[in-house]
Structure 1
């Protein structure tokens, strides 16, 4: 879709008010602030996007905190390499650099790019796609990372389909809210795990059955599942394997601990090491951010089979509050930031 009346980047415009991060910290308050940044130029092979909204996800916190330490080769060893930890966005193409094809000024797009908590972001053409028709900028901005992670976890690694029984932990979160809907759209029977306050919201996403982990051990019953997608859980591999069918699949996409070195990723590593010796398939993956996946996600969003669950849209100036609110665990679905025009 092409926007009408979207202003081009003003000649001589040099700075923009964006979120700025100069050090690592576990809480966003005092770490993220707003300040001036240069407006990036659309260099070779890049597309400059005027950001209308940005998404906030758990990965935002990892980049901001530099935790676990395993992320620092990417995020920066001693201090953040990027101006801010934003990654997903939706907006309008403002300029197209030499060699960048497939997009024109005025196109409405969504996708991923570095330092997206800002009025402008530079993106690779293979990391963005046309914004889904009928979806607002804020809702679209929440989809690229969480939606792609859910799609790959449920469909590609979890083999969801008609007749398959899936258990999804962390079903009320950003990835979980997409995973429940995608699994149902593929015809799977979905059992979703969440806390008491979030059960109704998860049920509204289409889960066939909901379990309250605060009131029962959701792994203690007689039920067996073809796939367990473990997003927010931190249960042991032994417990998770116990509820799988003899040739079931365990897909670990989350599970946070306080460990500063690995932060819970040791479970993923052990699962991959054990898998070759078992009839069951245990594993994890790193979500791929690419335009082909975004277009597949767009088809689900435009059909109405999947919708972003947006808990709140906050102004860019409240980015720190948004990250801390997500970290505190009370959010159902996603948070988005509304980005005002550049100065």
Structure 2
């Protein structure tokens, strides 16, 4: 089968298209014929081995990437199931988390897959897993947004942000989205009552205060964000980082934990991986919102599998609109 290999740490061009053996479904596992996969900051972190401290923690591998094939978000068709798998069978259309999804076939555990909503194409479905689940956890599970709350979403035009705006609006919150001018109309159309163009205005310098801030960017000091948070409000940082950083999101996480111990405000971090990573219940929650017509993925760009490295670079630059998707023929 064709697959994009990540055999050493490095920039996006480290990825190469190759022919490798197709995996097989073992006990409790499902083999998926991948039709599309989406790109996340997670993917370039895995490729670069960034932050470096994560290598020592076992998150990305020590001397080379932990997973030989890149990718994790997936949409496709079940082709085989292992023993002890219930509720899935060959021919089912699914979405979920499949390590090694930048390939024609990928293998995962049954608990990380859910039925694909019929209203979505495979490209749209592939955009859902990490982005929508992170947004759900940031806004509803950790952020506990409620009707009437004032919610600020930094990075509202990106992969997580476009889902977060919709989820917060669906909960009845008054949403302010921070994004570039080119994404302003999109963010309004998703349910934001107010839009701030970050190139013209520093939202942390204003007089408005918010019950919940979801920070997907990390471009403001903690003190500045807390300045526009209500006294008992919640700040949720979507774990991330910059290429080549030694500590990256790990350092930011530790600073938030330390500050939270002395703050009346609630300072939280959400991460895309174990032990507090996404679950099947999270996937079912976001697909239920999609089925109800209250949530829809925004696909900004698509790339063929052979050009996945270009897609990774686009996401790494930090200005992607909505989700970036890789199509698999």
Give your verdict on TM over 0.5. yes
Q: Give the distance between the partners of 1:17 and 1:286, measured in 2 at CA.
A: 30
- The equivalent residue for 1:188 is 173
8 Å contact kept, 2:117–2:291: yes
Q: TM-score, normalised by structure 1?
A: 0.91
Q: Deviations over 1:221-264 (max 9, x none)?
A: 11010011111132111111111111000101145345621124
Aligned residues: 323
Q: Is the 8 A contact 2:302 2:326 kept in 1?
A: yes
Q: Report matched runs for 1:1-343 at 5 Å.
A: 16-25=1-10, 27-29=11-13, 31-72=14-55, 73-254=58-239, 256-257=241-242, 260-287=245-272, 288-340=277-329
- 8 A contact 2:239–2:270 mirrored in 1: no
Question: Highest CA radius of gyration, 1 or 2?
Answer: 1
SS of 2:205 mapped into structure 1: coil
Name the SS for the 1:82 alignment partner: coil
Contact 1:170 / 1:233 at 8 angstroms: preserved in 2? no
Structure 2 runs not aligned, ≥5 long:
none
Give the aligned CA root-mean-square deviation in angstroms. Answer: 1.3
Q: Provide, for residues 14-57 of structure 1, a one-character-per-residue CA deviation record: whole Å limited to 9, x for no partner.
A: xx0111111111x312x011001110011111011111100111
Tell me how far apart the structure 2 counterparts of residues 107 and 264 of structure 1 sit (CA, whole Å): 37
> What TM-score do the two structures reach when normalised by structure 2?
0.95
| Offset of residue 157 of structure 1 | 1.1
Partners of 2:237 and 2:318 lie apart in 1 by 19
Q: Is there any run of 5+ residues in structure 1 with no aligned partner, and where?
A: 1-15
Structure 1: which 4+ aligned runs deviate by more than 6 Å?
none
Partner of 1:4: none
Aligned mates of 2:280, 2:169 — CA distance in 1: 23
Going from structure 1 to structure 2, the CA distance change for 1:328 and 1:259 (only over 3 Å counts) comes to closer
